[in-house]
Amino acid sequence: MKKVWNVKKYDDEYIKKIVEKYNITEIMAKFLVARQIEFEDIDMFLNGDLTYLQNPYLIKDMDKFVERVDLAIKNKEKICIYGDYDVDGITSITVMYKYLTSLGADVIYYLPNRLIEGYGVNNQALDYIKSQGTNLVITVDCGVTAIEEAKYAKQIGMDMCITDHHECSDILPDCVCIINPKQKDDTFKFKMHAGVGVAFKCISALSKKYDLPKESYLKYLDIVAVGTISDIVPLVDENRIISKYGLEMLKETKNIGLKALLKIVNFKEIDSLMVSFGIAPRINACGRMGNAELAVKLLLEEDEKKALEMAKKLDMLNIERQTVEKNIFDEAIDMITKNKLDKNSGIVLYNENWHNGVIGIVASRLVSMYYKPIILLTKEQGVIRGSGRCQVGFSLYDSLCECKDYIEQFGGHELAAGLTISEEKLNDFVLKFDEIVNKRTDGDTLQIIDIDMQIYRKDLNTSLLKDIYNLKPYGQSNKVPVFLYKNIKVVAIRTLKDDKHLKFTLKDDKFLIEAIAFSQGDRRDEIKIGDLIDVVCNVEVNTYNTPKTIQLVVQDFKKSI
């Protein structure tokens, strides 16, 4: 795999225009351009607060959703919230359940078992929900592909309101309403909410209907932020505002379950990284290991002692998940190596004994190694199911659309998807998928490292650190800034933690700069003391030093030319 360093180029006049209009540094202006923030959206990105959130009634069918929920509440009908088993789905259920319950609605919720039922709405679940006396089903983070299931719900006498954020096909379910800004005829400006973000817009619309104070729905922003950040949706526009204010709320959260989780996670700083690597894996572990309801119960729990016990169970499930994940990862690497599958444009692996709840994580890890689309498949209840992931810049969803004749069912996003395949079509699918990926990538496997800009010694100052800090919260479409620093001399180098990491001391003229390259200890012999090197890096404050110093976190390096 060839690595390509792609240093962003800028229009100097446009950068000057941004600097003058918004009174910011040239470096910050370049950050914004690199993140494709439009000129008219810069103010929202930099200064956006809760007043910038758009009117939820601008979303197609929102009035129908509010009208049907209002009718259910007035008539004391039972409402079932039907969600997904990942963090987005679990937080969506929690927010919708808590809010509707606060209005006095008669509410239950349903989570499909990942290992038995798989993703999305199914008829057996609808039968059970109907048997509970339900009149109205509200889906959250799922449902936009449930064409036959919506028809079945109508047959057995249940209305369905779909709230979702996944890609929409040309044919949509026939139901009371579909709340999904990605519908082709929906004119709502922002299209990239997570499922919990769509649920949040729904409850804010209900608050407008009942003339309730904003606090009635804003108080759930901590939960909404957790779901939004965890679902890896672009943290721009409304998602940025939700995440920014939700993270502030999370620091003083009143949700007993989240408080318990924060104790278990025990991160120094409550930010988007803590959510992604601390909270999200533990909540996701429940669904992955077949017990997603435990996470919902935790977020609904009001007793601190019970919540802490549940949080500990989540932690144990996460440890179990890590063990299973490692075994699958090792087996997958062995399959790729033995069969030379790394030569393929796209990689599809099948093992009927793999755990379906974990293969998506393994696929993500493999993408980061091979930088090409990866699909892992397993068999459950006689059905072949799988999860796929791909590199940024490639659309896995569009590729699967071109393979639809070989797939029973699929859904997802540009970068991630789930699918079901019949056994007799498996081999044909593998061949077709590789053909499509090859066509879309021209057969080249390149890891493109996007770099915001080249920096120099003079740039390593508090102004740069302030600009980097003001970009937070980081996430999809708003990554931690990446820099190119050229022609710096290696004056010391050593490995850390059983040769896993590399630690550098670099010198630029008379200035010494500390640097670390995580998980690159195997590259120790590529350079020696006295070499001049170029590094691709992040810039951060090393809090382990006293006094605190600026440190480079090296993503890649090579000898200077």
Has residue 115 got a pLDDT over 80? no
The pTM score is: 0.89
SS3 category, 65:
helix
pLDDT exceeding 70 applies to what percent of the chain?
A: 99
| pLDDT value of residue 273 | 93
Q: Give, in order, the Cα–Cα distances in Å from 27 to each of 219, 427, 466.
A: 35, 51, 11
Q: Where are the domains of the chain?
A: 2-9+449-559, 54-314, 340-444
Any idea which architecture 2-9+449-559 has in CATH? Beta Barrel (2.40)
What angle (nearest 5°) sits at the alpha carbon of residue 447, between those of residues 442 and 448? 95
Spell out the residues 6+ positions from residue 339 whose beta carbon is closer than 8 angstroms to its own: none
pLDDT per residue as tens digits for the range 130-188:
999 999 999 999 999 999 999 999 999 999 999 999 989 889 999 999 999 999 999 99
Has residue 546 got a pLDDT over 80? no
What is the fold of 54-314? inorganic pyrophosphatase (n-terminal core) (3.90.1640)
What whole-number distance in Å separates Cα of residue 440 and Cα of residue 388?
A: 16
What whole-number distance in Å separates Cα of residue 536 and Cα of residue 483?
A: 6
SS3 category, 500:
coil
Section 22-27 average pLDDT: 97
* CA quadruple 266, 267, 268, 270: dihedral sign: negative
The 10 Å Cβ neighbour count of residue 304 is: 13
Residue from 528, 542, 536 nearest 554 by CA: 536
Mean pLDDT of the residues in the chain: 94
Has residue 2 got a pLDDT over 80? no
Confirm whether 54-314 and 340-444 share one CATH topology. Answer: no
340-444 CATH pick, 3.40.50.1370, 3.60.20.10, 3.40.50.620, 3.10.310.30: 3.10.310.30
Residue from 210, 208, 295, 204 nearest 255 by CA: 295
Structure tokens at 381: 């209840």
Q: DSSP secondary-structure letter at 52?
A: G
pLDDT per residue as tens digits for the range 63-87:
999 999 999 999 999 999 999 889 9
Structure tokens at 382: 């006689």
Helices (H), 371-461: 396-402, 426-441
pLDDT per residue as tens digits for the range 207-262:
999 999 999 999 999 999 999 999 989 999 999 999 999 999 999 999 999 999 99
